[in-house]
Structure 1
C-alpha cells in the first residue's frame, strides 16, 4: 500500500534477545530500526527499554512505532503515558486523539483534539468525530457478500475487475524473502473468482520484482495495465539533508500491454522520479484520456495527493497536474478509483471522517470536482477503509483493516443501491469554547478548578478540571446558548453567558472566569458515594447517602449539586473516562427519580485522572477509595 503498512508485530524473539543486550547497545539498535522505519522490531526493543528507562523520549518513539503500524490500542496506551510526562510535545495530543478516533472512542478523541489546538486541522478532526457519531445512527443501505474463501491472516486488498474475475494484492506468498518491516512475503498480484474462490498468481510478467508489486489498474478494454511497484534501490540521501527516517524505497508506475494471452512491459510511466518522490496507485478514466495517480511529489497540497496526466495527441502523457484543494488536503489522499459512471472514489485522512482513511466520492474530472461526500457507515469505519470500487450493477469491493476481519487488511464484497449513497450534508461549523479560570486577586491561572458549562434548554452540563494553564475546552453546538461557571473549594466565579448564534464559520470563543476572593456563603457538606470494581450501579450504601442529598436539596431549594465521578487507577484512560461518565449518569438518574429537577444537577467525570489516593501499587482498600463520586452542594 502507498506509504502505509499494516504489520503484525511479533515480539517473542526480539524481547528474548533484548534482555541479553547491554542497555546502551539495546537503544542504539532500537533507534537504528526506528530511523529505517522498521517499526515492528523498533517497538519490540523499546518495550524492553522503557521498563528500565521510562523517559518521554522512549515513550514517544514507542507510541510512534505502534501508530505507524496501526496498532491503535497499544499506541493510545503509550500516548496516554507520554502526555503525563513533563515536556511532552503538544502534537502528541493530536496523535492520541487519532488513535482514540481509530478505536471508535469519539468523545475521548474530541477532548484530545480540543486541548491540542483550536486551529483548522483540529476543528476538522472534531467535525469528523461529530459526523461519525451521527452516521453510526443512520447507516447507508448495503448488503455484504461472503468472501471468507479469499482473505488470509496476512494482508489482502486493492481489488479490481478483470474480465469475469478479480485481481487483488496480497502478501500470502511462500517466498523465503521477507519484508523487513513485518517479516511477511512481499506484496504480489493474485486473481480469483468474484466470490473469492480459486485464487492463483495473476501473471509472471508482473510478478518477478524483488519487492512489492501492486496494485494494478486496467484500461476499459483491458489491453493496457498500469502497475505500481517498489523501486528496488534504496533512496540515497545526502548526509546533511538526511531526514528523520531514511533508507526508504519509493514507488513507481509501469505500463504494460496485452499481447494475445500474455502481458509485456511497455515502458515506465514517463513522470516517475524515484530519486525525488513516489508515484503509483493509478486509475484510468473511462475514455482512457486521463490517468490519475497518487504521489508525494513537490508542489502538492499535503502529505500525499491525487494527481493526473492527460493523454496528448501523440499518445504521450502530459506533465503531472494536482487535482486541487477540493480533493486534496494537508493530510493524505490516496487510492483513486474511477467508477463506470465517472465518479472518483478515493480515500482521505484530511476530510472529515470516522478515523484513519475514509472513502469519499466526487464528481468531475481533472481539477474541477464537486465537494467530496463521505460514504459513511458501513462503507467507512473508525479504521482504514480504502480501494473502494463498484461496477455498473451496484456490486463492489472494499479494503479495510476494521475490527472483525481475518487479517491485517481484508477485502469485503457488497451490493449497494447507488440511489441510497450519502446525501449532501451542509458544512458544519466547528465552534470551540476556551474557558480560562483566573484568580481575581492576582490574575493568575487557577489549576484544579471545576469549570461547569451548562446548556439550559437541553438540560445538559459538562464539568472539567482545569490544567496548569487554567483553560478547559469544549466543542459547542451551532445556534445555541450556554452558561459557563467555575468553582474551587468554597470559591466561585460568576457565570458568563455564551451564545453561538450568528457565528458564520469555524471559531474559538474565549471566556474568562474570575474566582472571587470570598468563599461561597454557604456550602453544605456530604460524603462521597462509592462503587464496586468496574461497575456504575448504585450500591445500598450509596443510595442511603443520595437519599440524604435529596433531603438537603429539598430543604435548600436554591442549591445546586455537582456530581463528579472517578475510577480507580487500573485500565486505560479512555475506558475509565467512559466508566466514570456512566457512574455520574447513574447518580444523576437516582436524583431525578427522587424528584430533583435536572437543572439543579450538574455532572462531571474524570476517569482515573484525579485519584483521591495516588497509590502505586494499590491494595483493594485504596482502589476502593478512588472509585467514587464526589458530591458538592453550593447555595446560590
Structure 2
C-alpha cells in the first residue's frame, strides 16, 4: 500500500513539475495601446477594445481607453484579433500573428492594423510593445476604395480573386451595422461612353448581389451605382494616349457613406442627391 501511495505522489510531483516548467517556458508580451483620431491625432478616450483568439472565437479580454491607453497581456504563439469600436467612427480590426516568430526567430510577432512605436524588454519571458491604432470618423459622402475587385475584360461576373475584397467589405458592414453605403463601379475611357455606363452598372449590381447573398447584409444597407467613365481620376479621357497603368487607375470600385446612426439618431443623405442608381 505504501508503494502505491509513493507512486501516486511521484506521479503528482512529476505533473506539477511539468506544468511549472511549461509555465516558465511560456513567453508573453504586454501591449500598451493608444487609440487616436486619424486626422487630428487626439486620444479617443472611452474607446472599447475587445480581444479574441483565432482558436477561441469568443471574447477573451476587453478594455476601455482610459488616461490615454489600454493594456493587454498576450502569449507568444497565439493568434489574436483586436476589435476597436467608438461612436461615430469606423470600427477597426487589428491582427496579431504571434506564431510567426516561430518561423523567423528575428521577429517578435507579425501585426497588421497597428503602428508599433516602441518595444522594450521586460524580462526573458516578456516584452512591452507600445503601439497606436488610428480610427476614422464617419462622415456623409466619405469615399474609400475597395481593393482586389477585378473583372474579366467586357464581363461583369464576380471572379474568385475578387472574393477577398468583397469579403473585407462584408466584414466592414458587419462591424459597422449602422452605416448605409453606395458601391460605385468605375471604368476607364476606352469603349463607348454609354456602353461603359451599362457595363459599370452591371458590375456594381453583381458585387452588391454577392454581398447581400453571401454576407447576409440587409438589402437596404447597400446600393449599386455604375459611373462608367464619368469620374476619371486622371487626364485619360477619350482621344488621349495613356499607358495601361494610367487606365487601370480609373478602373476601380469605391464605397460612399450614405448614412449612419449616432446617439440613436440617423444621419442620411436626402433621396435624389447621392442616393441614385439601381437598387438590387
- State the TM-score, normalizing by the size of structure 2: 0.38
- State the TM-score, normalizing by the size of structure 1: 0.18
Q: Return the structure number with greater strand share.
A: 2
Q: Which has the higher contact order (CA 8 A, sep 6+)?
A: 2
Which has the higher Rg, Structure 1 or Structure 2?
A: 1
